[in-house]
Amino acid sequence: MPCQIVVGAQWGDEGKGKIVDLLSEGADLVVRYQGGANAGHTVVIAGKQFILHLLPSGILRAGKRCLLGNGVVIDPPNLFEEMAQVEDAGISLKGRLGISPAAHVTLPYHRWLEQMEETALGVGRIGTAGRAIGPTYRDKSGRMGVRLSDLMHPERLRRRVESRVKMLVDPTGQQSPPGVDVDAVVAEYVGYGRILAEYVCDVSREVNTALDQGQRVILEGAQGTMLDLDHGTYPYVTSSSTVSGGALTGVGLGPMCITGVTGVAKAYCTRVGNGPFPSELTDEVGELLRKVGAEFGSTTGRPRRCGWYDAVAVRHAVRTNGLETLGITKLDVPDGMPVLRICNAYKVDGRLLTELPYDMEDFEHAEPVYEDWPGWSTPTSGARSWDELPAEARRYLDRLSEVSGAPLALVSVGKDREATLWLRDIRFAVAGSRS
């Protein structure tokens, strides 16, 4: 029962969408296990770009069944917009999309709460994507949330919305909460429920049954390890479990079902939002990485903070996810740079640390300790095998693997599917092409 998890090994935006799309060629099911419309996975097919926020990246492969697990939070208007984008491109969703009835739903007052809370935090604000993910997950953990199944039961939905609205408090203390028209919210979301009813399915049961029947499953995460609620740079994190363990609870699987875990990292590093980022570059080199790599958030359009590869962070990801292999993306972005740097340790108050500090205040004061590696002048974008890469690029990749603690499975040198070098074939066999 082959079941692979694909996770981000940095702060998100590593290129997981492309990797999941590639792996989904030989899969039967692709399942998203956490996050919401705050995540953006970009896939380019024959020069056409798709930005997916909620739909699993496998939706772009004909015939693949794609599911949203109970760990995902659903914003119906955003989901409908995305579904329309895919169908307008001639990709049918009929019979291919399933959503857990236990997935929680983002409501209008969640967006208001997030705006008020970010304002109240001031300089300590998280820098969220503005999609109300945090308040939705908080209502879930506080047992005040609305699940997809509630949208199919108007009176139950009304009770849950009414009880939650009564507790709304403005955290800034400077203005009263706006009036929430419960009747309008209930009517709107019951309408969404009618549309989504045909997609509701028991995701845990379907995935477990598929594995029992020998089908092949990919579990797709959003964001990255360093944004995990427990294992990331708290409090500057997302509100869900982005690591591989979150796949089990976010879908409803036992650990013995998992047969492989692959992490994805860029050949450099980026971060969106606030919080510590030791290897960040605020000079012309960082600006060059941003420009060449088109490092702007696919969800918000915000410029990403750019920096050198942080091996300390990736080692943390290897350990917390149990990564067996690593995929490196955007190797083509630093083409032509004379020197590339790898952060392989931190200095904190005179101490040399080779692992992530457990105290996040230490992390905020961490200074990167770099290794310098020669760059390459020959473009990598045309390479389709290891031997076609410049020797300096091969040495750099070897070092990334060594300091990260995981063997490389693939290297991406461009946006398109074909711009990929397979070093270890972790793909499922495709009928008629591989045994």
Cross-strand partners of 420:
412
Catalytic residue among 28, 41, 310, 316: 41
13 is catalytic: yes
Sequence-distant (≥ 6) Cβ neighbours of residue 124 within 8 angstroms: none
Three-class DSSP category at 192? helix
Annotated catalytic residue, options 13, 75, 150, 228: 13
Q: How far apart are CA 42 and CA 40, in angstroms?
A: 6
Q: Structure tokens of 244?
A: 């591989």
**Contact of 368 with 312, CB cutoff 8 Å:** no
Nearest alpha carbon to residue 353 among 311, 325, 303, 398: 311
CB 308 within 8 A of CB 245: no
Catalytic (active site) residue 110: no
Decide if 405 contacts 318 (C-beta within 8 A).
yes
Backbone angles phi, psi at 345, to 5 degrees: -165, 165
CA atoms within 13 A on the CB side of 201: 21
Residue 337 tokens, joined: 């740079």
Helix (H) or strand (E) holding 364: helix 360-364
What lies within 8 Å, CB to CB, of 348 at 6+ separation is: 357, 362, 363, 365, 366, 367
- Residue-wise burial string across 244-266, b where 16 or more C-beta atoms lie within 10 A, e elsewhere: bbbbbebbbbeeebbebbbbbbb
Q: What share of the chain is helix, strand, coil (3-state, %, to 5)?
A: 35, 20, 45
Q: Do 57 and 29 touch, CB atoms closer than 8 A?
A: no
Q: Are 306 and 272 in contact (CB under 8 A)?
A: no
The residues that are catalytic are 13, 41
